[in-house]
Amino acid sequence: MLDDGKEPAYLLFICDIVSFKLINERYGPETGDMILKKFARGLKEIAGSSGTYGRFEADHFALCLPEKQASPDDVVRLINEKCVNTEMDFHFQPQFGICRIEDRSIPVQTLCDYASSALASIKGKYNSVYAWYDARLRKKIMDDQFLMEEVEKGIENHEFVFYLQPVYQASTKRLVSAEALVRWQHPARGLIFPGDFIPLMEKNGFVPKLDYYIWEAVCAYLAGRQKEKKRMVPVSVNMSRMDIHNPKLVDSIVSLVRKYGIDPEYIRFEVTESAYSEDANLLLDTIKALRREGFRVLMDDFGSGYSSLNVLKDMPVDILKIDREMVGNMEISDRGGCILGSVIRLARRLSINTIAEGVETQSQFEYLRGIGCDSIQGYFFSKPIPVAAFNGLLDTEDELKGKGSVLDSIDSQAPVRKGFLNILVVDDSSINRTILANMLQSDFNIMEADNGRKALEIMREPENRIALVLLDIVMPVMNGYDVLEEARNDPDLRQMPIVVLTGAETSENEIMALEYGATDYLKKPYNPSIMKIKIANIIKQSEMLKKQA
């Protein structure tokens, strides 16, 4: 800055140590005190004779310097040198809000507020070290204030709605649950996302009211589906850190589901990992109370903050939601993948289900499925969508999978239509193919394929008019599950009856195959009569479904 004869400008730094509370918890208050003292000594040195410094409370400090003495980058560097480096094996990160002081008539308290609001603007953004209080921030603060004045009216006018983001089971790609995410349909500003108003509402204490409003809206939605006897999946709702301070929280939730006649199984609560570092005991009590009432509890944003695997050990949650940052990291580094893998394994051992959030690509999806992650949420499958669109998804998935199970209505008296139905036998072993062909050729035309690729080609050729596929699971190159998966993702093959052939003692393969969309299974050793009747019934069922469609 040019020195134009005016009094020199000063810089005011307000400083906060990220997650200082965790340092206290992990290393004890003596270590915390030691760090604070060292911090203060460092600030004193940096302030020198022409600056000043002080401590507000806890880990909040202020430092004021002539602008000419040091740039913000210098100050950050000096603080890191003098205050942060300790002989201990951990590193902590201070963050700063900075305000440039030109007008000496502004009260000190106001200047501190300015710098604090700059600091608040980077809270939670762990890679930002400092932020300025400037015209842009001032405008944002004014806009935010204006927005907050409209919240109450917004609730009254039902401007807050929730979107639903589907969650899919990794093994079957079936829609199994959803998360309700709030949106503000503002009459003047259009659709506003929660990132732009939830943090503000957290500050002015309005979040619990909004949360309750959304929970009630979700109950009303579920009650509507229930009344129409439509398919429902559990919906998880977000619970803010502030909610757990309400001593009547669980009572009010229980009254809500009673009022709407909803089974608690259909509402799940997502508590955020950050609540753990703030008040672990209160969080634990809330989780226990909710589960006692039959609600499932999810640990949201797992892996986003500073908490460790201890959270898993300490908090009896049903489902772990892996933060999208962790999902993003797994592909960037082997280390990221390793950590994710061990989190999922540990969760399994503790009988906690896992949902990976923010899954955007096919390769992320496949990787996660491969390491045993149970469910997937993310743009790869779907963004959060309006309720009507979500209902559409639920209803059409129902139709695709067939109304009820084909197996529900086996008719053992079904006549076998001779001669013109084609059955494809897929097995890499020619002996097995021959055995099956021999058993069935009096009643069907048998076609054969010795691998999955060839099988799919034959199935896709309309001329072949395949009525049913008998599919071996264990094959080299492309196994039976892969064939099933590809077939079920192909609109032309989605309805084709596929019966898997299994031989093992356990039913694991059968269950897997059914999850992958197999119509039914046949177990070795085959009984030719039962086999023929089963095949005939399945074909008959499938023809009926085709006619209905």
With CB under 5 to 8 Å by kind, the binding choice for 402 among ligand C2E, Ca ion, none is: none
Whichever of 236 and 519 has its CB closer to Ca ion, that residue is 236
- Does 300 interact with Ca ion (rule: CB under 5 A)? yes
In the list 238, 286, 509, 519, the residue contacting Ca ion (rule: CB under 5 A) is 238
3-state secondary structure of 248: coil
Least Å distance between CB 151 and ligand C2E?
13
| Distance of closest approach, residue 193 Cβ to ligand C2E, in angstroms | 4
Report what 517 binds from ligand C2E, Ca ion, none; CB cut-off 5-8 Å by kind. none
Among ligand C2E, Ca ion, none, what does residue 379 contact (CB within 5–8 Å per kind)? ligand C2E
Report the residue number, 75 or 359, with the smaller CB distance to ligand C2E: 359
> Which of these ranges, 197-205, 237-245, 453-461, 470-478, lies near Ca ion under the rule CB under 5 A?
237-245
Q: How far is CA 335 from CA 329, 340, 341, 514, in A?
A: 9, 9, 10, 34
301 near Ca ion (CB under 5 A): yes
**DSSP code of 124?**
T
Query: What does 56 interact with, of ligand C2E, Ca ion, none (CB < 5 to 8 A by kind)?
Result: none
Binding segment toward Ca ion, per CB under 5 A, in 263-271, 400-408, 511-519, 538-546:
263-271
d(CA 301, CA 323): 4
> Least distance (Å) from ligand C2E to the CB of residue 339?
19
Question: What are 126-132's contacts with CB under 8 Å, separation 24+?
Answer: 126/18, 126/93, 128/95, 129/76, 129/93, 129/94, 129/95, 129/96, 130/13, 130/72, 130/76, 130/95, 130/96, 130/97, 130/98, 131/96, 131/97, 131/98, 132/97, 132/98, 132/99, 132/100
Residues that bind ligand C2E (CB under 6 A): 165, 181-182, 193-195, 198, 207, 211, 214, 238, 240, 300-301, 324, 358-360, 378-379, 384
Residues 377 and 380: their CA atoms lie apart, in Å, by 8
Distance in Å, CB of 323 to Ca ion, minimum: 6
Q: What track of x and - describes contact with Ca ion for positions 264 through 293 (by CB under 5 A)?
A: ------x-----------------------
Judged by CB under 5 A, which stretch of 60-68, 107-115, 232-240, 284-292 contacts Ca ion? 232-240
Of the candidates 47, 120, 119, the one whose C-alpha atom is nearest the C-alpha of residue 79 is 47
Q: How far is the CB of 380 from ligand C2E (least distance, A)?
A: 7
Give me the least distance between CB of 261 and Ca ion, in Å please.
Answer: 25
Hey, which residues does 162 pair with through a beta bridge? 182
DSSP-assigned letters across all residues of 347-409:
HHHTT-EEEE----SHHHHHHHHHTT--EEESTTT---B-HHHHHHHHHHHHHHT-SS-GGGG
Tokens of 531: 């086999």
Closest contact distance (angstroms) between CB of 101 and ligand C2E is: 35
Residue 235 or 487: which CB sits closer to ligand C2E? 235
Tokens coding 237: 């709702």
Residues lying near Ca ion in the complex (CB under 5 A) are found at 238, 270, 300-301
